[in-house]
Amino acid sequence: MDKSGIVEIHGRDYQTVALRVAKFREEFPDWTIETELIDPGLHVIIKATVRDPDGRVVATGHAEEERGDSKINLTSSIENCETSAVGRCMAFFKYPGTEIRSADEMSDALIEQGIKRVQKDFGERMGIIRNMLDKIVDLKDRLADDDYHAAVEIIHSMSEEQVSALNLAPTKGGILTTAEIAKIKSNEYSEARNSITGYEPTTK
63-108, pLDDT tens digit by residue? 998 887 777 878 888 998 998 899 889 888 888 655 445 555 555 6
Rounded to whole angstroms, how far apart are CA atoms 121 and 31? 49
| Distances from the Cα of 107 to the Cα of 60, 63, 77, angstroms | 22, 16, 16
Range of the domain at 13: 6-111
Q: Based on the domain organization, do 179 and 143 belong to the same domain? A: yes
- Domain membership flag for residue 204: no
Please list the ranges in the chain whose pLDDT falls under 50.
1-3, 99-100, 202-204
Q: Is residue 25 a part of any domain in this protein?
A: yes
Predicted local confidence at residue 111, as pLDDT: 56
Predicted TM-score (pTM) of this structure:
0.46
Q: Assess whether 57 and 12 both reside in one domain.
A: yes
pLDDT at 204: 42
**Residue 117 placed within a domain:** no
> Is residue 50 domain-resident?
yes
Number of domains present in the structure of the chain: 2
Q: Is residue 10 assigned to a domain? A: yes
70 with 105, same domain: the answer is yes
**What pLDDT, on a 0 to 100 scale, did the predictor assign at position 192?**
87
Same domain, 22 and 86: yes
Which residue from 114, 131, 195, 141 is spatially nearest to 165, judged by alpha carbons? Answer: 131
Decide if 49 contacts 89 (C-beta within 8 A). Answer: yes
| CB-CB contact of 87 with 104 (8 Å) | yes
Enumerate residues 6+ apart whose C-beta is below 8 A from 95. Answer: 15, 20, 23, 24
